[in-house]
Structure 1
Amino acid sequence: MSDRVIRVVAALVTDPEDRQLLVRKRGTDRFMQAGGKPEPGETPAGALVRELAEEVGLDVPEAALVPLGPFTTEAANEPGHRLEAAVFRLPLSADAAAAVEPRAEIEELRWCTTAEAAALGDLLAPLARLLLPS
Structure 2
Amino acid sequence: MTTLNIAAACLLDPQDRLLLVRKRGTQALMLPGGKREAGESAVQALLRELWEELQLRLDAAALQPLGQFRAPAANEAGTWINADIFVARLPHPVEAAAELEELAWLAPGQVHPSNLAPLLRDHVLAALKPLPSLLAQ
For normalisation by structure 2, the TM-score amounts to 0.86
Match of 1:127 among 108, 111, 119: 119
Measured in 1, the distance between the counterparts of 2:34 and 2:86 equals 12
Partner residue in 1 for 2:105: 111
Measured in 1, the distance between the counterparts of 2:59 and 2:22 equals 24
1:34-90 deviations in Å (ceiling 9; x for gaps)? 000111111110110010010011111111111111101111011111111000001
* C-alpha contact (below 8 Å) 1:11/1:90 kept by paired residues: yes
Over the matched positions of the two proteins, sequence identity in percent amounts to: 46
Measured in 2, the distance between the counterparts of 1:73 and 1:117 equals 22
Give me the CA root mean square deviation: 1.4
Equivalent residue pairs, number: 126
Unaligned runs of at least 5 residues, structure 2: 130-137
Measured in 2, the distance between the counterparts of 1:26 and 1:92 equals 23
For normalisation by structure 1, the TM-score amounts to 0.88
Measured in 2, the distance between the counterparts of 1:30 and 1:53 equals 21
Match of 2:36 among 26, 38, 52: 38
Unaligned runs of at least 5 residues, structure 1: none
Letter in 2 for 1:101: E
